[in-house]
Amino acid sequence: FRDFLASYNKLSESCFSDCVHDFSSRKISSLEIGCALNCTEKYLKMTQRIMLRFQEHQQQVTESIASQK
């Protein structure tokens, strides 16, 4: 659960700093909304791809260990 919260905080901080530049209004502009959605989508796709690669690597390591026995 801590990892999830850390990841969520990093995503929020990163996308906020990339997308929100104007604090003259209390409302979020359509450009900021679009930017935040794109940022979130990219982050989630990146995380998914990293997890997939990690699983592939772990499988290779497991197979390598099994073949040495």
CATH topology of domain 2-68: Helix Hairpins (1.10.287)
Q: Which of 9-13, 29-33, 43-47, 65-69 has the lowest mean pLDDT?
A: 65-69
Name the residue ranges covered by the structural domains of the chain.
2-68
pTM (predicted TM-score)? 0.73
pLDDT of 69 higher than 80 = no
The pLDDT of 5-34, averaged and rounded, is: 95
DSSP string, 6-38: HHHHHHHHHHHHHH----SSSSPPHHHHHHHHH
- How much is the pLDDT for 5? 94
Q: pLDDT-derived band of residue 1, with 50, 70 and 90 as boundaries?
A: confident
